[in-house]
Copies of this chain bind each other. A is one copy, B any other.
Amino acid sequence: MQETRLDTARIRAARGAIDPIFRDTPLYRCEALEPDLGCAVSIKLETANPVRSFKARGTEVVASQLADKGSPVVVCGSAGNLGQALAWSGRARGLDVTVVASRFAPAVKLDRIRALGARLELVDGDNEMARARAAAIARHEGIGLLDDSLDIETCEGAATIGLELVEAESSFDAVLIALGGGALATGVGHVMKALAPDVEVICVQPAGAPAMTRSWRQRRVVTTDSTDTIADAVAGRCPIPEVLNDLLLVGDDAVLVQEASIIAGMRVLLENAGLVVEPSAALGVAAILEDRDRFAGRHVVTIVCGSNVDMDAYHRWVDAAAIRRP
């Protein structure tokens, strides 16, 4: 294949920088999901760790490098999971971490960022505004900026999930990956294309935040004016050109799913797998629910990428789905 910005040898090396607590996460067939989903489903669970998302795989790499370089001050814009992960990784290495987030981010994410000792700055806008504000702080204060998905370490850290998938005993036909900024999708996708090219790499995004999917389909950056989705972790409007280029090389498909399907996916994961997940982590199941014929007879892995969800909202969504059910 044409070359992405990612490097497989560097991804292997990245594992050494990541605290083992975030690596070798559970990967298991979940047959109890299968009557509802109509295909063989395995779960790659990225929530059973101190920050309840996959994001620390990237921030561990970043924080290690910053510590090695003697650059102890860093800022990032975040929908919440990256910020929490950077706060954790930075605290472990004595870094001074600032996180910029939307004031509309889930309280549980903001609370954990603060609890982990990071400075938290809130913006009166969305994730893109938080990202822009972080860049401005970095310029103004002359400190390090962590730019999610653009900084290759965030992609290569996430890509270590891909290594664990290809090293697993079972083989898979497809992997379903939540698509936001693209670190997870390009990371895992790169490893699949490099080491398991028969596995279909399917990116899943909410129809209410379709910028990267539209960009992938049109093979050029397409932005949107707004987002409208409960999947706060993937609610971006402005795809990064370098990340889109990589995604064009490693993604086999990018699909959009409805909000009702995301909620139905969360409910299926709760009721049949006993898993509380945040909306972005239900995107894969939502994609199966919307297109069962596509997956029938195949073995699909879905990456359950985060569980940082405000429980009040969670109950509201999931209980409402129960009422709508026949």
Contacts and interface: CB of A to CB of B under 8 A. Distances in A.
A30 interface: yes
B45 A48 contact: yes
Nearest to A34: B115
A308 B274 contact: yes
Interface in A274-295: 274-276
A20 B309 CA distance: 30
A47 interface: yes
Contact of A21 (B28, B31, B112, B115): B28
Contact of A25 (B26, B31, B169, B307): B26
A108 to B, nearest CB: 8
B52 A274 contact: yes
Contacts of A28: 21, 48-50
A276 to B, nearest CB: 5
Interface in A7-55: 20-21, 24-32, 43, 45, 47-50, 52
Contact of A50 (B31, B52, B275, B276): B31
A311 interface: yes
Interface in A292-326: 307-309, 311
A271 interface: yes
B29 A50 contact: yes
A47 to B, nearest CB: 7
Nearest to A111: B32
Nearest to A49: B28
B26 A49 contact: yes
Contact of A309 (B27, B116, B274): B274
Interface of A: 20-21, 24-32, 43, 45, 47-50, 52, 112, 115-116, 169, 270-271, 274-276, 307-309, 311
